[in-house]
Structure 1
Amino acid sequence: MAASIKTNRKRKAVSKNKKKGWKKVDISELEDFLEDERLQERTGGLVADKTDDSLFFVDKTVKEKPEGEADDEGKKGSVQIPLRKSQRKNRPLRCFSNLEPDPHTKPAHIPHNIRTTPRLSKQERDRLANKKPTAKQLQAQKQSKDAREDRIKNRVGRWNLKVNADLWDDQPADKDVDGDEHYLLVTKKRRVNVPSYYHKKTSTLPAVEVPHPGASYNPAYDDHQDLLWRAHEVEVKKEKAMQKLFNALDAKFPSKDDAPTQQTWLEEMSAGLHSDPTREDEVALPAEDLDKISVNPPVRREDLKTRKQRRKERERRIEAKRLARAKVVKQKKNEFNRLKSIKKEIRKEELAKEERAKRKEEMLEKNKDKPKKLGKYKYEDPDLELQLSEELPGSLRLLKPEGFLIKDMFHSLQKRNIIETREKAKKSKKRRPKFFERKSHREIT
């Protein structure tokens, strides 16, 4: 029953005339054949193309056997009989003999009695028996001990205080005093580390400036005139600054009398709109012709360029570009020949840099006592306090006090760059509340 059952599997129809069906064709035999040919080409060439003499040879050497041995025919010597053609066909190629193991090579000697444990000397055996550590082990133990002591010292060192100073002493101790650093800082026995610029003064000006001799109540004539001249220079400088501001702003605009009026503005804006009856040479054009008039000048036939002129211009432009590129290449090549001039230029730049640094240093030295702009506003010297010749009192009893000491100290701090320049804060205007009188509370008059 089972033998009579036939499979209904049909062979797939594959069209071999299309590239799509090439993958479904069995080409294993063809691949084996090609692989065999490639192997023959790698190992001396195709066997089918070789002659019989190159493939086979007759071995006529006589192989002698030792005495006592005989071949099948009972003879001591034997001659190798040539193989038949069928035997030669199945014989392996001689070129494959290189891949076979060489019978003359001796096998590798593999020792089987290797000692697994190293052989120790007498000193090593004694050390192991007495459990004596080596030099490296001793060094490791010492390092571990030192590290442990450091950890303990860092952990409890700040609480194990050794105080050798009086807590109630007003004089701070020196930096070399014995004791914990944290304890000395807390008890004010050692000063806190300050930055390097802490002791550097911001300005060399004195904290209290000595007033000018001319500001005395009974000054000398020359000192008083010198003070008046200084005040005059300050006022002249202020007047020049105001005049400069006026020339930059107000002077560029007309005054109220010279300002244009509505009538002059209308006349200026309407200039050219109305026809002038005095001009008769103008020809009125219709509105449709006005749009056709071009703004550009008319082109004459003589101004048109020919094809030859345009070609010459194009050639001149190309030649100019070529010359510019050649000039750049030539300059780059000449850079190697102008090493001396390059060194001179570098030296010149270095000298200029040194000169700038020197000028900058001189400027800093010159302006070291001048106030700097530390904030939003720039420092300005207050007005000089002086009295005219007719205002000078005759005695100290008639002298009226001027100025304010706290303001002078405040300006001194700003001038010496200790605090930034400030201005007096403006008071915000408080709006007055509106009062309304109720009709019921209005006073009857």
Structure 2
Amino acid sequence: MAKVSLAKTTASSTTKKSTKTSTGAPSQLNQSSRKGKRAWRKNVDIQDVEEGLEGMRAEERVTGKTLQSTTDQDLFQIDVTGDAQLRNSLQRFSRSQLTSTKILAERSAVPAVFSRSSTASKKWKSSMSHEEKARLLRIGKRPQKGPFNSVVDPTEFGAGSAILELSEAVKSSGTYDPWASPPEQEVIQDGLETVQKRTVKPPAVTHVRDAIQVPAVVEPHRGTSYNPPVQAHQELLLQAHEAEERRLREAEKLAEVKEKIESSRREVEAEDLMLAPGMKLQEDVAGDDDESAEGEGEGEMLAKRQPQRKTKAQREKAARLRSEKRELAERAARKRMMAMIPSAKTLRRTNAKLMSSREAERARKRTAALERLKQRGLAGQKLGKHKVPEGPVDVQLGEELSESLRALKPEGNLFRDRFLSLQQRALIEPRVPVLPKKRRLKMVEYEKHSAKRFE
């Protein structure tokens, strides 16, 4: 009986409702039955209504009136300027905060669709390479097929006995730059001395070809036309005349030098022809004998004089003369130096002007040479053994002009023009035509001994 009563009391305590509401008013909801109308009206649940009323009372206590009776102008306002402090505290713009960036950053857990099926990709990955297949065939000593379906002997060198791959030099070709700045060399210390490899610097040499601005095909002069203007034709004729005069002057100078050499050679040959080789005139031989005889007689008659020793007075006199000469020389040098001191500034200014004029002249010549190199290239300059030719001036005389394309005659040579252009632009070295030489050795004809015996 005690156990039953304890269970009943526990159940009654758990089902018993609170006697107070959330607002603090006493509750009437603990009645077990509502069968009568009076009991139902008395014990109705109005807690939500009471909570709403209590909230309105709290608003009225804080603001003085309820929010329902407050106008919108009192509750809200439009902020036009904004808060500067709030703007500084906000995060700066970042592309990672954009909605599009967030959408693109999302990745699905579903794998992407491949263009090949899974079985095909696995089969393709597991396929064997040609090198591996050739290696297995060599190990198994199976016949290997070569070009045109021929069987290759695996024991032959280069046909399967070894893998002939590319060398390391071929693999690394094109990656080495000889003019690049070398990396820092590590200092090797072996305890005895310090060894450091020497760095090779690239040559800082400018090529003449870089300064030449001559085009590959030079625009011809207006006077070379088949119907040229009169002034252009006369100008081209004058250029050809000057070039021919220059050539004739050089030929005359060369002929004069050759004539001088030939005349001196003829004089030497004429002197040698007067006497036979190894022989002398009788007068010269007799004079030499007489002189030698007189010398021998004097040597026998007169003894060789020995230098006498000077006395003390003579030595002092010689020393006094030397000191006087030295003093006179020093006095003259001092006098010249004192005379030059007042004119030192003038000499310095004159020397400075002279040096500046020389430097300006050198700069002018250098500029002129560079300008000539840009406009004409190496034409007329000697490079190596030969001189770069300037090229002939192609011009026709007045009576040779055709004045019509029908009667025009071809002039010049395209191959010669291209060859001269390559030489003048420093693309090839200057050359001269090599003519065939005559045979120096003579043909020796002889008759064999067998040909002499005939019957």
TM-score of the superposed pair, with normalisation by structure 2: 0.37
Indicate the structure with greater helix content: 2
